[in-house]
Structure 1
């Protein structure tokens, strides 16, 4: 698998978590699992075939997941994808996340969202234009929050109002979403840094290495050391 992430311009900070490309690069069918990371993914398949429970169309969006997604690609499959924070997806007119949690939906070629992922060329200019007139909502503070209390202070929302917002827009409690973000940071850290796993756990907000290992087994289906050896981006 050839996986890469494009450098993002500062205009997309807080809206787009990543723009990635991937070529399956094999013969026959290739199986992978994608770990949850708290993002909505708009994905265009340029060639080949892909399956998640059933065959997918050339353009689709995947919802918020709390478990790994078991995927299969034909060896000639090639993709470009945009990882959007949930509030950014909603700002673009996307459906509320609970409606397709742990699943995917087809995107029609005539849908305005399709223009964000052209069949060829750089998707970044269209993304910058799409968010040029959109302001980050207070809930975007969740990206840097360590606790639910920090989110309530940043948003000014009472705890019960925050719970209702997350149930409506995310389909999970704030604490569950924070767990996904902490795990996402840890998965990135163990891939990018040669430092001891205990240091990765401390750097990403875990109580200790054992705490991080439990989340890796639950959310990625493998221990951190194995993820370091074989994970490519979210693919484990």
Structure 2
């Protein structure tokens, strides 16, 4: 079981600018929730000019609470805390932050949200639904209040109240998705299925039911996030990287990257420098 949250920047486009503009940090949930939850992510900001952040979504469901005062510096435009369930996003996610505010998010492990939702997770793919949503009730008190420990405790209490149910199939899918994320040699669904002694169709059904997208999409998304992360450290040899990530040629990588990130790999590498 992980003892500290991940410290990579996968999925965050221009992570250096994010860290300059806002306070961003990750925390682990209570140990009893870690089999389903990747981490909590907290963002606080006080901005004099609007800031747009772009995210290449993970193959994961997020529950997000936000409290902000819009463009008001003194909080006079204070708004109530909002909460939503965000299914796996297929497209680039953009959000513009203004004024003063804070966000508390829960990123579930791919396959982990099924224990709380208890329906096919594909029903949520591409959608953002306000809480309460079915059996996922709203918290009694604001989540984005107090210290980091206060917020972590509020999220632990809320998720525990949703009474997640262990499921051997969910555990299997979580392990498989983690193998895809951590092993960059995973490039093809048929090879991955054979490696784990699973029929391809069963693997596809499990991922759609528990993750919300198919295994091919998960493989490609993790490899594209890798490409973006490598670009932050300096422009790689794109042809070599394309081959390493399982693309037939550099042009294919460029097309996929541009479709997801909104800019070509070379343009992105220049922008973050």
| TM-score where L is the length of structure 1 | 0.70
Q: 2:224 aligns with which of 174, 183, 191?
A: 183
Structure 1 unaligned residues grouped into runs of 5+: 50-55, 232-236
Cα distance in 2 for partners of 1:199, 1:13 equals 38
Cα distance in 2 for partners of 1:139, 1:19 equals 21
Equivalent in the alignment of 1:90: 114
* Cα RMSD, aligned residues only: 4.1
Equivalent in the alignment of 1:144: 179
Write the mapping of 1:148-163 to structure 2, written as runs, cut at 5 A.
Answer: 148-153=189-194, 156-163=197-204
Higher relative contact order (CA 8 A, sep 6+): 1
User: Is 1:106–2:130 an aligned residue pair?
Assistant: yes
Equivalent in the alignment of 2:26: 6
Alpha-carbon shift at residue 45 of structure 1 (Å):
0.8
Write the mapping of 1:1-236 to structure 2, written as runs, cut at 5 A.
Answer: 1-2=21-22, 4-6=24-26, 8=28, 15-27=36-48, 29-48=50-69, 58-93=82-117, 95-108=119-132, 111=136, 114=139, 118-120=143-145, 121-122=148-149, 123-124=151-152, 127=156, 137-140=171-174, 141-145=176-180, 146=186, 147-153=188-194, 156-191=197-232, 193-194=233-234, 196=236, 198=238, 201=241, 205-207=245-247, 210-228=251-269
Alpha-carbon shift at residue 183 of structure 1 (Å):
1.8
Cα distance in 2 for partners of 1:164, 1:210 equals 31
Q: Any conservation in 1 of the 2:24–2:43 contact (CA below 8 Å)?
A: yes
Cα distance in 2 for partners of 1:16, 1:188 equals 23
Paired residues, number:
224
Aligned CA distance change for structure 1 residues 197 and 173 (closer, same or farther; 3 Å):
same
Equivalent in the alignment of 1:234: none
Cα distance in 1 for partners of 2:262, 2:54 equals 9
Cα distance in 2 for partners of 1:204, 1:5 equals 31
Aligned CA distance change for structure 1 residues 200 and 94 (closer, same or farther; 3 Å):
farther
Structure 2 unaligned residues grouped into runs of 5+: 1-20, 71-79, 181-185
Alpha-carbon shift at residue 148 of structure 1 (Å):
1.5
Cα distance in 2 for partners of 1:62, 1:229 equals 31
Q: Any conservation in 1 of the 2:36–2:112 contact (CA below 8 Å)?
A: yes
- Rg larger in structure: 2
